[in-house]
Structure formats: structure tokens, C-alpha cells
Amino acid sequence: MPTRANDLLGRRLHDLRISVTDRCNFRCTYCMPKEVFGREFHFLPAVELLSFEEIARLVRIFIGLGVEKIRITGGEPLVRRDVDKLIAMLAPIEGLKDLTLTTNGSLLAAKAAALKAAGLQRLSVSLDSLDDAVFRAMNDVDFPVARVLDGIEAAQRIGLAPIKVNVVVKRGANEHTIVDLARRFRDTGIIVRFIEYMDVGTTNGWRLDDVVPATEIFTTIDAALPLEPLEPNYSGEVARRYRFRDGGGEIGIIASVTQPFCGDCTRARLSSDGQLFTCLFASKGHDLRALLRSGASDAEIGQAIGRVWVARDDRYSEIRTSLTKAPHKVEMSRIGG
């Protein structure tokens, strides 16, 4: 197994986000717009997905390269059948310090107990508004906000915590509801993280004018619920932390567009068909599934991953505005957020 190494910008490999499916039961306008991902869209057949055994094998290899934190994503990971069995396979792996999952919450009420029993440590839930009409419009499948809240409450009740709620803030869609979210979850132990609308992929019609900058998000919430800054929990933390001045908990703001954090990025991403991506905004991946299925040894796969990582120089968010032509980028539904 190769030794741990840094990339060309001195960043170590510490976090791995694993997509277990490219499918989702929502059609959020900023991620999987219905005009593109409609009934005729061809999702990956089951044979092209990494099996749970293949994922577990890769996790062991990545841990040998320095990864300590695994996040299960999608698509929507809870639409992958028996995903709790994958959690049970990963949880006992030696060296894995943090195992978490990101979900839209639609199936969480029914599956929270199984995830907790399998060994899931933490949970993030995407919830863009408490206003039912706004939420239904943004998920674009008419899914009610109450059922996501039921899932969050079920997870809290069984002790699947801490829970974070992720809110993508888009101009003209939901920026007028962010204070409601901050107020709803204060004093609950749940941390709400407000995320600038990003130009992930090429199908969501992203425009800079649709971005609500972090400074505006902060000012809006601070005016209603006064905030003060907190120190990061760890180097490379993507969210800037703020606590309510009255002691009612904290929020986070993720400013990938206006305040890039490429310099501290320690994350790699694995798509559901086994492609390794070294940036959320990457144009191409590196095929690990072919290595897995061609009989390569763990050492050979580890060496291949190491070669990809040490050659990494991704810093798209830092150079976005200097690009004369927008590159073709992988869709977020393939590699998670």
C-alpha cells in the first residue's frame, strides 16, 4: 500500500464521499432539473453500480491512504435498496472515525432506525424551506415539507445525532424563508447550514445573479437572530460557523462561490459506477471499477488512487471568474454535494 501523500497544493486526502446511486426521487431545480432528468433519462443499470462489497473494499484502501471520514451520498442514497447493510459493512472498519450520510429526508422516517442500528454516526438532511409551497416548487415533485420534518424528528428520537440541515439558497426561490429555518431549529441541537447556490454540473442553468452571497445570508439572519462567529471545528471545515448570541445553538454558511475554500479541500468523491473525482466541479473521473473487476490487488488500486491524488491541482472555485469558457462539469447527482 502506498504511503500517504499530499496533492500538488499540499492538501492531504482525508474525506471520501461515496455516491451509492445516481437516482433520486426529487427533481430539485438546482440539481436534477426535470427537463433533463425526465422519464426518458437513462440512469445506470444495476450491473454498472459498485456492489456493497466493492465499496467496502475501496473504503479499506482509502483508509490506508489517510481517509478517516466517509459520507454516503447519491443521488438520494436511501433509494438504494438495503443501504443500511452497506452502513453495517463500513461501520466496523478499523481506522474509520466518522461515518455519515446525506439524504433529502423523504424516506428517513421509515429507515432511520435501521441506519442507526447499522452503525451510522451522523446525518445531514437537505431541506430548502419550511414554506410548503416553496419546498414543493424546489423539489419539483410536489413532495410536502411535513414528511421531511417527520424524518428529522424520527432520527432525533432514536438518537441518530448530531443532525445537520442543508439549505441551498437561491435568489428568487427561497431566500425569504431562511430566517424561518434558523428560528425553527435553534435550541434543538440541529445545525442549519446555508449553502450558496453553486454551478455544479451543466444542466441547472446556473447564473451568478441567482447566488445569494454569504454576506447577505449572514446579515439577513443576524438582523432577526443576532449572531457571532465561532472558530472552525477542524482544518478544512467548509462551513463558517456562527452561534446565536443568546446561546441558542449555531448555524453554518458555506460560501463556495464568493469565499472559496479550495486551499483546504481534503475531499475525494466516488461515483456510484466507481469513478474517482477529485473535485465537485471536475470534468472527468478515474475508473476504479475497472481495476476492481480486472483482478487488481489492493496495493495496485491504492497506487492508482495515490497517483491521481498527488497529481491533483483542482481549485475551480478560486479560478471560476478568470475562466474564459465554462468547462463541462460532472453533474452533482452523480457524485453528491
Could you report the per-residue pLDDT of 194-213, keeping only the tens digit for each? Answer: 999 987 767 777 788 999 99
Nearest CA among 100, 19, 30, 12 for reference residue 257: 30
Q: Give the DSSP H or E segment for 112.
A: helix 108-118
Domains of the chain (ranges plus CATH)? 15-335 (3.20.20.70)
Element (H, E) at 318: helix 316-319
Can you tell me the distance from the alpha carbon of 64 to that of 85, in angstroms, rounded to the nearest whole number? 22
Mean per-residue pLDDT for 45-60?
A: 98
pLDDT above 70: percentage of residues in the chain: 95
Taking residue 89's Cβ as centre, other Cβ atoms within 10 Å add up to 17
Dist CA 80 CA 206 (whole Å):
28
Whether pLDDT at 3 is above 90: no
**Per-residue pLDDT tens over the stretch 154-196:** 999 999 989 999 999 999 999 999 999 999 999 999 999 999 9
